């Protein structure tokens, strides 16, 4: 259409009713997203027998909370105690012989070499006692750390070989939340960042806060996701191993960002555009888009603070057409 004809149409066309939104940059906008995740215990420890023997007593039970050095299982010591008593007697005899030799050396009644022999025999006897004592100590299988007995795969009277598992301890006072982080999001995160964990407990939603403690350097070949772990305290056992939770992560924070309704953006052959109101007329602005946040989208270029963005009626206007403001949205 010739320019003169366009001006005539513009003059004759009735004003279009529009609603506008005043552009006000937001101080800080969080770019967040949610991912499902699985709760895992902080530590799972398998306690095994260090020596062979028959189980004499099982002191603990499944589900019991234990502390470090608590006795879990004891082994029969019937064969070891006579050996211990014999070793103690031999040591006592060697000690007395050493004392006698020391006294004789002081009186110059025997050679120094006799005292040296007595010293060696006493040391050997002491080592024998300590060795059997160490074996007896290992007949009391102790908890290496605090936790809950999750598995107890032994029976009273069962014979154990060295290395046979006796109990499995699970520590849930602190838990890990494991996430499969999409490959494209990995660069936004690092160890030490915080994250929110949302979980529904007894019909009520609770929010926990944790810190990223691990990001794998190797992505899963099939899912193209990277394992990330968030560690958080769990003193009241509100989180359970195997539980599915929702993790809210923040990729980045946009400062002085402009976000507009997604529907206000119009696809054009040359790209994307919006309409603003200037001097009572519609003015088209080509825009460069950023991230989408729900029903809003970021405008990187093309709009300025204070612009009156047409958010309703924008599909019925053209550059230069007169408009009538019927509402102004906050």
Using an 8 Å Cβ cutoff, are 213 and 189 in contact? Answer: no
Clarify whether residues 57 and 142 are in a common domain: yes
Q: Which of 167, 186, 206 is the last residue of a domain?
A: 167
Which residues form the domain of 184?
Answer: 32-43+171-252
The number of folded domains in the chain is 3
Clarify whether residues 75 and 56 are in a common domain: yes
Clarify whether residues 141 and 84 are in a common domain: yes
The span from the CA of 271 to the CA of 274, in Å, is 11
Clarify whether residues 37 and 179 are in a common domain: yes
Clarify whether residues 186 and 109 are in a common domain: no
Using an 8 Å Cβ cutoff, are 317 and 18 in contact? Answer: yes
Clarify whether residues 248 and 324 are in a common domain: no
Clarify whether residues 229 and 142 are in a common domain: no
The CATH number of the domain holding residue 76 is: 2.40.50.100
Task: Say which residues have a Cβ less than 8 Å from residue 149's Cβ, sequence separation at least 6.
Answer: 60, 61, 62, 63, 64, 66, 72, 167, 168, 169
Clarify whether residues 206 and 96 are in a common domain: no
Clarify whether residues 217 and 244 are in a common domain: yes
Read off the tokens for 33: 């997203």
Clarify whether residues 110 and 213 are in a common domain: no
Clarify whether residues 269 and 296 are in a common domain: yes
The span from the CA of 241 to the CA of 132, in Å, is 41
Q: Which of 140, 167, 194 is the last residue of a domain?
A: 167
pLDDT of the chain, 330 residues: tens digit per residue? 455 444 544 556 789 999 999 999 988 888 888 999 999 999 999 999 999 999 999 999 999 999 999 999 999 999 999 999 999 999 999 999 999 999 898 888 888 898 899 999 999 999 999 999 999 999 999 999 999 999 999 999 999 999 999 999 999 899 999 999 999 999 999 999 999 998 876 667 888 999 999 999 999 999 999 999 999 999 888 888 899 999 999 988 889 999 999 999 999 988 999 999 999 999 999 999 998 888 999 999 999 999 999 999 988 999 999 998 887 766
The CATH number of the domain holding residue 290 is: 2.40.420.20
The CATH number of the domain holding residue 238 is: 2.40.30.170
Q: Which of 208, 233, 252 is the last residue of a domain?
A: 252
Clarify whether residues 48 and 37 are in a common domain: no
């Amino acid at each position: 259409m010739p320019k003169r004809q366009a001006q005539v149409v513009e003059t004759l066309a009735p004003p279009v009713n529009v609603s506008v939104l005043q552009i006000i940059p937001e101080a800080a906008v969080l770019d967040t997203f949610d991912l499902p995740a699985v709760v895992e215990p902080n530590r799972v420890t398998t306690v095994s027998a260090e020596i062979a023997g028959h189980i004499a007593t099982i002191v603990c039970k499944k589900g019991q909370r234990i502390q470090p050095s608590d006795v879990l299982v004891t082994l029969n010591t019937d064969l070891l105690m006579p050996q211990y008593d014999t070793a103690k007697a031999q040591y006592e005899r060697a000690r007395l012989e050493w004392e006698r030799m020391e006294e004789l050396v002081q009186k110059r009644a025997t050679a120094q070499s006799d005292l040296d022999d007595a010293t060696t025999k006493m040391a050997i006897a002491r080592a024998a006692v300590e060795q059997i004592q160490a074996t007896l100590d290992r007949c009391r299988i102790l908890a290496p750390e605090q936790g809950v007995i999750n598995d107890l795969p032994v029976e009273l009277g069962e014979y154990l070989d060295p290395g046979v598992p006796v109990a499995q301890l699970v520590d849930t006072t602190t838990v890990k939340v494991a996430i499969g982080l999409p490959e494209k999001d990995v660069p936004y995160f690092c160890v030490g960042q915080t994250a929110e964990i949302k979980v529904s407990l007894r019909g009520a939603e609770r929010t926990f806060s944790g810190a990223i403690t691990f990001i794998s350097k190797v992505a899963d070949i099939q899912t193209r996701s990277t394992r990330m772990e968030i560690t958080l305290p769990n003193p009241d056992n509100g989180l359970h191993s195997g539980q599915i939770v929702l993790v809210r992560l923040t990729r980045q924070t946009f400062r002085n960002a402009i976000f507009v309704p997604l529907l206000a953006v119009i696809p054009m052959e040359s790209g994307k555009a919006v309409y603003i109101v200037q001097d009572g007329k519609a003015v088209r602005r080509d825009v460069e888009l950023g991230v989408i946040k729900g029903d809003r989208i970021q405008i990187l270029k093309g709009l300025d603070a204070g612009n009156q963005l047409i958010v309703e009626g924008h599909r019925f206007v053209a550059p230069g057409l007169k408009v009538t403001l019927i509402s102004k949205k906050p």
